[in-house]
């Protein structure tokens, strides 16, 4: 039926001989695009692809399809109707799940599948790309889950020449097959001018000898941007990333954390290889950034680098490279040793580089946002090449005086509250002074700062209120056991001090709890509340 419609349309166009230009244009468009349904119209996805022509779509219903698919050079969209969670292509351990090896361009789209159990090994003459194999092609691969595949190079996604867009996929649990394998999650090759783009993917729990998350060889002008690269294992080098030999990769705003064998290992760079605004932390058995052979051409700008115990955050290997890479406005910090070592050891204090705890909000829970007091706030290079207008959360850059180092731009106002009691213990009937200190750690000014303070009466003789004073704004006693303060605005870095005096009577424990809030978003509310208990003793 559909092919009949196509022939009819061709006939109509062909009869329009009075206008050669129109005929030419219409023939190129090749009639209306056809939607081919699987399994409604075709028994397999490949059968749908085989029947399709440029411009068509192959729409796949939910289910598991045991097959390998090959786009065969066609500019078509292959999409699931219900998304990756409901639609799986399973290669059953035979060959890559999906192949783009016939010169496909960006008009070839694969979207919304789980791609699993693919295999690419040297013995089978296809060693690259267990889940997705790209060889001399530039398709778009979007919104897929690429899991449990195996290959020598690029167990999840393998790119051997081409400029594909690999965007918003979850690439997990893929493993290398052969000794010396490169790229557990993604492998990129494409010398000299191919430009693969790896953007907004989660690349986790993959493994290969070199580059557990991403491995590159001669990767041309590849761009790796806005990815989370975590919990990968580089068996020999480069837990998160391994960049080798004429790789002119631009690595922008990636969170590279908890990988085994370091964050990123640069083994051969050419001018243009650049790390910008990445956060690289909590990787084990290696530095956050390790520069060796031919890496003096590399640049690292505005990164937050935290080294594993025993490893410098940034190590510039003097044995293989006499000159350091260009390091600008980075924070390189290791708790138990210098942040920068090797021939970049003198970086702190030059070119905007610092070495200080970046003060993540909660790294143990995977939260690498900056606390308000972080030295990385406003400490980056606002004009670095490769910046994007949004941070990894999608919030605007640049907030405050300058761009922050790392993947996140701090905004809002980080309030903190301190509370002390004097004396403690206190004698019954004697004055007890509570001192409350509300501090705005920024980065923005806090407005309409409110403080609530309460001391529920647990003493037999009661608690007599005496007075409350504040350094800014005003406070009011409610006539019972609480005080409310309106402190107005607090600039970034400013504090307000409230002094509250009472006389407890009787004996026991008196607990005071206070909280501070403001109109602004607060990136770290854990420190907004404070509490202190005082023992009241008889005279």
Residues that bind Ca ion (CB under 5 A): 378, 399-400, 404
36 Cβ contact partners less than 8 Å away, ≥ 6 residues apart:
2, 42, 48, 51, 52, 56, 57, 58, 59
**Which residue lies nearer to Ca ion by CB, 231 or 378?**
378
If the CB atoms of residues 402 and 459 are measured against Ca ion, the closer one turns out to be: 402
CB of 370 to Ca ion, least distance (A): 9
Q: Report in angstroms how near the CB of residue 401 gets to Ca ion at its nearest.
A: 7
Nearest distance from residue 478's CB to Ca ion, in Å? 39
Neighbours of 348 (CB within 10 A): 19
Q: Residue 140 — left, alpha, or beta (φ > 0 → left; ψ -120 to 50 → alpha)?
A: beta
Nearer to Ca ion, 60 or 399 (CB): 399
- Minimum CB separation of residue 208 from Ca ion in Å reads 36
Residues 206/179, Cβ–Cβ less than 8 Å: no
- Do 269 and 295 contact (CB within 8 A), yes or no? yes
Residue 341 vs 381, nearer CB to Ca ion: 381
Collapsed DSSP state (helix, strand, coil) of residue 13: helix
Give residue number: closest CB to Ca ion.
Answer: 400
DSSP string, 339-404: SEEETTTT-TTSTT-B-S---EEEGGGTEEEEPTT-TTTT-S-TT-TT--SB-TTSPBS--TTSPP
Is the Cβ of residue 278 or residue 283 nearer to Ca ion in the bound state? Answer: 278
Complex with Ca ion: residue 48 or 380, whichever CB lies closer:
380
List CB contacts of 399: < 8 A, sequence separation 6 or more: 409, 410, 411, 443, 444
Distance of alpha carbon 26 from alpha carbon 13, whole angstroms: 7
Q: CB of residue 358 vs Ca ion: minimum separation in angstroms?
A: 13
The two structure tokens encoding residue 338: 């210098």
DSSP 269: E
Is the CB of 375 or the CB of 400 nearer to Ca ion?
A: 400
Cis bond leading into 191, ω under 30°?
no
We find the least distance from the C-beta atom of residue 384 to Ca ion, in angstroms, to be 13
State the residue for tokens 């308000």.
Answer: 372
Which residue is it, tokens 């350091």? 324
CB of residue 400 vs Ca ion: minimum separation in angstroms? Answer: 4
Choice between 89 and 379, CB closer to Ca ion? 379
Minimum gap (Å) between residue 399 Cβ and Ca ion:
5
Tell me the backbone φ, ψ of residue 5, rounded to 5 degrees. -55, -40
Q: Output 282 or 404, the one with its CB closest to Ca ion.
A: 404
CA distance 76 to 139: 10
Positive or negative torsion for Cα 500, 503, 506, 507: positive
Whichever of 144 and 411 has its CB closer to Ca ion, that residue is: 411
CB 523 to Ca ion: min, Å: 12
How many Cβ atoms from other residues are within 10 Å of residue 259's Cβ? 34
User: Cα dist. 526→168, 258, 371, 391 in Å?
Assistant: 32, 24, 11, 23
Q: Is omega for the bond preceding 17 within 30 degrees of 0, making it cis?
A: no
Instruction: Tell me how far, at minimum, the Cβ of 329 lies from Ca ion, in Å.
Output: 12
CB of 409 to Ca ion, least distance (A): 6
Kindly state the smallest distance separating residue 352's Cβ from Ca ion, in Å.
14
Q: Which is nearer to Ca ion, 241 or 410 (CB)?
A: 410
The nearer residue to Ca ion, 70 or 378, going by C-beta atoms, is 378
Distance (Å) of CA 450 to CA 202, 312, 415, 473: 40, 43, 11, 10
For the chain, the straight-line distance linking the first and the last C-alpha, in angstroms and rounded, comes to: 101
């Amino acid at each position: 039926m559909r092919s009949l419609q196509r022939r009819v349309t061709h006939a109509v166009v062909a009869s329009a001989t009075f206008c050669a230009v129109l005929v030419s244009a219409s023939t190129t468009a090749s009639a209306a695009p056809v939607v081919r349904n699987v399994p409604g119209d075709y028994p397999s996805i490949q059968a749908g692809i085989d029947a399709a022509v440029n411009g068509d779509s192959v729409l796949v219903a939910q289910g598991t399809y045991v097959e390998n698919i090959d786009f065969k050079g066609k500019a078509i969209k292959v999409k699931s109707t219900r998304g990756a969670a409901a639609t799986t292509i399973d290669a059953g351990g035979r060959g890559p799940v999906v192949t783009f090896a016939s010169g496909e361009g960006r008009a070839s789209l694969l979207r919304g599948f789980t791609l699993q159990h693919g295999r690419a090994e040297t013995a089978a003459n296809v060693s690259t790309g267990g889940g997705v194999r790209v060889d001399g092609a530039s398709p778009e691969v979007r919104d897929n889950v690429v899991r449990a595949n195996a290959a020598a190079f690029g167990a999840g996604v393998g790119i051997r020449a081409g400029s594909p867009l690999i965007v918003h996929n979850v690439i997990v649990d893929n493993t290398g097959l052969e000794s010396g394998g490169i790229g557990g999650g993604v492998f990129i090759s494409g010398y000299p001018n191919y430009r693969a783009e790896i953007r907004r993917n989660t690349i986790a729990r993959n493994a290969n000898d070199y580059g557990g998350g991403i491995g590159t060889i001669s990767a041309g002008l590849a761009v790796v941007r806005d990815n989370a690269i975590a919990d990968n294992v580089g068996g020999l080098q480069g837990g998160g990333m391994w960049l080798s030999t004429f790789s002119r990769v631009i690595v922008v705003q990636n969170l590279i954390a908890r990988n085994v064998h370091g964050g990123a290992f640069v083994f051969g760079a050419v001018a243009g290889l650049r790390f910008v605004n990445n956060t690289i932390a909590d990787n084990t058995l290696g530095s956050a950034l390790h520069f060796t052979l031919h890496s003096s051409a590399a640049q690292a700008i505005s990164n937050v680098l935290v080294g594993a115990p025993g490893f410098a955050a940034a190590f510039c290997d003097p044995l293989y490279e006499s000159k350091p890479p260009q390091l600008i406005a980075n924070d390189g910090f290791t708790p138990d040793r210098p942040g920068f070592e090797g021939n970049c050891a003198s970086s702190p204090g030059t070119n905007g580089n610092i070495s200080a705890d970046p003060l993540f909000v909660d790294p143990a829970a995977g939260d690498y946002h900056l606390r308000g007091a972080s030295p990385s706030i406003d400490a980056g290079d606002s004009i670095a090449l490769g910046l994007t207008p949004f941070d990894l959360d999608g919030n605007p850059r640049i907030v405050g005086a300058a761009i922050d180092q790392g993947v996140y731009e701090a905004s809002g106002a980080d309030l903190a509250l301190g509370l002390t009691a004097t004396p403690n213990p206190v004698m019954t009937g004697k004055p007890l002074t509570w001192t409350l200190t509300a501090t705005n750690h920024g980065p923005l000014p806090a407005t309409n700062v409110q403080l609530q303070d309460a001391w529920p009466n647990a003493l037999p003789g009661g608690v007599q209120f005496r007075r409350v004073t504040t350094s800014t704004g005003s406070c009011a006693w409610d006539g019972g056991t609480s005080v409310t303060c309106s402190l107005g605005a607090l600039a970034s870095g400013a504090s307000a001090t409230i002094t509250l005096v009472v006389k407890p009577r009787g004996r026991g424990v008196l607990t005071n709890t206070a909280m501070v809030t403001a109109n602004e978003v607060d990136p770290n509310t854990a420190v907004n509340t404070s509490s202190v208990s005082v023992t009241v003793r008889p005279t």
